[in-house]
Amino acid sequence: MSSHSPHIPDVLVVGGGIIGLVTAWRAAQQGLRVAVTDPAPGGGAAQVAAGMLAAVTELHYGEHTLLGLNLESARRYPAFVAELEEASGQQVGYRSCGTLAVALDADDRAHLRELHALQRRSGLESEWLSGRECRRLEPMLAPGVRGGLRVDGDHQVDPRRLAAALVVACERAGVDLRRTWAERLVVEGDRATGAVLADGGELSAGQVVLAGGSLSGRLEGVPADVLVPVRPVKGQVLRLTVPRPYAPFLSRTVRAVVRGSHVYLVPREDGELVVGATSEELGWDTTVTAGGVYELLRDAHELVPGITELPLVETRAGLRPGSPDNAPLLGFTELPGLLLATGHYRNGVLLTPVTGDVLAEALVSGELPEIARAFSPGRFSSPMVQRVASYEPVLRETRLQEQSV
């Protein structure tokens, strides 16, 4: 399978978050020699993310193509988890618990009714429940809950455990984890041939996959006409813990839109309760703010009043890698030798299995599988799209206000 000198990896993956690691692991399973550069493999947005696998409850207008990829990755999750747990010897906290999206007032209810109609038009399974039925499922919900959507197919995984398992699976598959930054892409002739590393070394490779999350657009040396239109979208997230006598506090993921802000509570089997998330366009700022924590607790408390009794054990902010159309960039760029696996925005954890599969196939065969073709980076490469992409933060805010359901 390998085509280069024994000292040169076939593939260099820049970025060792869950997307870079799954790409490396799957490529190594295909017989390729793979190296990953990252000072802390397994870090990044997965250390903050709640891990909802919410293809149905996070459906948005205008994202039907993305829905297909999200559903396909959700379908692959059980087998992916079984294989990863076997390969790493570690559990990843996959929980097929379902999700309940609820409404607290008439506006929220109208909003949820619209989401329900969109789900039905899209052929998705969800069931409308009265407030009483919601509380029967989740007795800790506020008495004022006006109704909700039961989505039994939207599950969860623990992203921190997922990342840790991927590190071990990569090591066991022979992936060379270089614990340093890649500072600059090396381009020779018209081809990407490796990267200059922060430790002073240089690593050549047959192909390079840029999987740097929200930092993907910042790698030096990428030619200006190979646009990597990814920007950071900050999310503040809280972690609480449910003491044993209270367990189970919630039995499934519970979410709502409270006065226009999304809030979700993700209960783990070990008692962790993750509350997220803000969505802020503030560049690479990861400050946890009093306002962010206040809003999350205020909204979560309206939904589940008993939450204020729980110990608050962690507050943290992460950066989603947002793309101009909220969908990932997967596969070959116009620079030979350079592929992208980035821009997963709200769906990085959900899209981990399918991303690993399609990138590995692309690296081996030179062809991007059909399911990923709509997500090729080439969709942003016309001059008109590049101009639009540079105004994207403004456009996106407008679009979210118009389309978010």
> What is the binding site for ligand GLY (CB under 6 A)?
52, 58, 235, 276-277, 320, 346
For the CB of residue 277, give the shortest distance to ligand GLY in the complex, in Å. 4
For the CB of residue 54, give the shortest distance to ligand GLY in the complex, in Å. 6
Cα distances (angstroms) measured from residue 284 to each of 41, 314, 319, 343: 19, 20, 7, 15
Q: Count Cβ atoms within 10 A of the Cβ of residue 126 and give its class: 0-12 exposed, 13-18 middle, 19 or more buried.
A: buried
Q: Which region holds residue 399: left if phi is over 0, alpha if psi is between -120 and 50, else beta?
A: alpha
Helices 18-29 and 159-172, packing angle to 10 deg: 30
For the CB of residue 50, give the shortest distance to ligand GLY in the complex, in Å. 6
Our CA angle for 232, 233, 234, nearest 5°, is 110
Residue nearer to ligand GLY on the CB measure, 26 or 320: 320
Residue nearer to ligand GLY on the CB measure, 33 or 262: 262
Amino acid letter, 19 = I
Residue nearer to ligand GLY on the CB measure, 58 or 302: 58
Stretch (H or E) spanning 133: helix 131-137
CA R_g for the chain: 21
Residue nearer to ligand GLY on the CB measure, 32 or 92: 92
For the CB of residue 345, give the shortest distance to ligand GLY in the complex, in Å. 7
Residue nearer to ligand GLY on the CB measure, 52 or 165: 52
Residue nearer to ligand GLY on the CB measure, 59 or 186: 59
For the CB of residue 105, give the shortest distance to ligand GLY in the complex, in Å. 22
Output the residue with the shortest Cβ distance to ligand GLY: 346
Q: Count Cβ atoms within 10 A of the Cβ of residue 168 and give its class: 0-12 exposed, 13-18 middle, 19 or more buried.
A: middle
For the CB of residue 237, give the shortest distance to ligand GLY in the complex, in Å. 8
Asked if 273 and 266 count as a contact pair (C-beta separation under 8 A), the reply is yes
